Structure 1
Amino acid sequence: MALKFELVTPARLERSIDVHMVTVPGSEGDFSVLEGHAPFMATLRNGPLTIYATAGAAPEVIEVEGGFAEVNEAGLTVLAEHIAS
């Protein structure tokens, strides 16, 4: 089972991959998303977006600044205002 994950900035689509889990820096607190998560939307705070390609894998961390996250039947889309490169 895999979660479809997309990371988008105003400039371009940064990532479109299948992953195990993503931990998102929500404005109300961090939350993790796995495949089959209930649909919702959240605003983001500045902080680390942590991507786990597989269960038990070392995470990839991307710093995001502001934006929104949407979880739906298609997966997780993070619309970040800016990411650290």
Structure 2
Amino acid sequence: MLLLNCPWCGPRDETEYHYGGQAHVRYPQAPADLTDREWAEYLFFRDNPEGPFAERWVHSTGCRRWFNVVRDTTSYRVLAVYRPTDPRPEGSR
């Protein structure tokens, strides 16, 4: 079981959260100008690294706020937790 430390509520069991995908994926500035391929790449193509990876999580049964987690994908160890407004820590992708 994964223990995540919500920046607002403190440590909670992973069952209180929902995974939101890769962090730091920028919304296209002009989505109407994208080709079908570019739009599909934005929607569906994500990194799948071995090692540190920045993810988005929401504390769905608590404060309902989004935050970012850097997690090692090989060991599931949480390396950092930070608010979306904070800079990405060193070592994340």
Structure with greater contact order relative to length (CA < 8 Å, sep ≥ 6): 1
Larger helix share, 1 or 2: 2
Larger Rg: 2
Q: TM-score, normalised by structure 2?
A: 0.33
Q: TM-score, normalised by structure 1?
A: 0.34
